[in-house]
């Protein structure tokens, strides 16, 4: 069973640039969630995708957008990067959308905005 | 305003003893609670969950207790092992749809041999 994989592992961008982060779901999972984890804090929910549609969104501005593909892999896009966007971005997959289907997290992408 | 609080940033316990990690929340609408464990350079790993219709859930060495009136839950690890050394996150959600879990800031547990 292949786990959740994220790429790249580290990324450095300049303020104002755009970034795309990628995630491959664990096999058999059809739901992908993205979380942002700032230093010293817990992960914060960005949004979730189920069957290629956004299925819930946290308190993040529209410059955070996403996609889910037919093979259930996903992208997180962030436009007009700000210094505060520097964080660990975690992708998590699950089968369905229920607290009984716990999230399986990838190892994250560390984004640094300078 | 933090809806989920883990007031102890760190905890040290001797191997073989009990580890108790605490979590408090402010949103009375939270009905589903999970604990995750995170090792350095890895993503969080699911440990155990509980819904508000229960006050206890047990899985091997891990037991979660929920006191809904006090808006408090705790994770007990007995006996503690050095491999349990990690950051533990408490997470809560209002709905059963597995989305928008609100995480606490985490507690770093060190189990000393």
Of B46, B89, B99, the CB nearest to A48: B99
Tens-binned pLDDT, residue by residue, of chain B (113 aa): 789 999 999 999 999 999 999 999 999 999 999 999 999 989 999 999 999 999 999 999 999 999 999 999 999 999 999 999 999 999 998 876 666 789 999 999 999 99
pLDDT for position A99: 62
Tracing tokens 């037919």 back to the chain, one arrives at A70
Q: What is the DSSP string of A14-48?
A: -TT--EEEEEEPPTT--EEEEEEE-TTS--EEEEE
64-103 in B: which are within 8 Å (CB) of A? 89, 91, 93, 96-103
A45 touches chain B (CB under 8 A): yes
* pLDDT, tens digit (0-9, with 9 covering 90-100), for A12-71: 999 999 999 999 998 888 899 999 999 989 999 999 998 899 988 999 999 999 999 998
Instruction: Check A94 against B93: CB less than 8 A apart.
Output: no
Instruction: Check A4 against B101: CB less than 8 A apart.
Output: no
Distance of CA B113 to the CA centre of its chain: 22
How many residue pairs from chains A and B have C-beta atoms closer than 8 A? 73
Asked whether B79 and B15 are in contact (CB, 8 A), the reply is yes
* pLDDT, tens digit (0-9, with 9 covering 90-100), for A36-49: 999 989 999 999 99
Task: Please give, rounded to a whole number of angstroms, the shortest distance from the CA of A4 to a CA of chain B.
Answer: 9
A4 touches chain B (CB under 8 A): yes
């Amino acid at each position: 069973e292949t786990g959740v994989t994220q790429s790249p592992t580290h990324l450095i961008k300049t303020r104002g640039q755009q970034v795309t982060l990628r995630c491959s779901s664990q096999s058999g999972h059809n739901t992908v969630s993205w979380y942002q984890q700032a230093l010293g804090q817990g992960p914060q929910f960005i949004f979730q995708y189920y069957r290629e549609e956004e299925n819930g969104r946290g308190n993040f501005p529209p410059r955070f957008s996403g996609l889910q593909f037919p093979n259930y892999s996903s992208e997180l896009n962030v436009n007009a990067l700000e210094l505060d966007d520097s964080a660990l971005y975690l992708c998590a997959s699950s089968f369905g959308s229920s607290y009984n289907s716990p999230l399986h997290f990838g190892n994250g992408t560390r984004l640094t905005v300078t | 305003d933090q809806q989920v609080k883990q007031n102890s940033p760190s905890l040290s316990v001797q191997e073989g003893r009990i580890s108790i990690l605490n979590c408090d929340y402010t949103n009375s609408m939270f009905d589903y609670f999970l604990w995750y464990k995170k090792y350095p350079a890895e993503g969080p790993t699911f440990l155990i969950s509980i819904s508000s219709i229960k006050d206890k859930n047990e899985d091997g060495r891990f037991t979660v207790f929920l006191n809904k009136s006090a808006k408090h839950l705790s994770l007990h690890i007995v006996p503690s092992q050095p491999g349990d050394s990690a950051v533990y996150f408490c997470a809560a959600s209002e709905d059963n749809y597995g989305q928008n879990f609100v995480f606490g800031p985490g507690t770093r547990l060190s189990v000393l041999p």
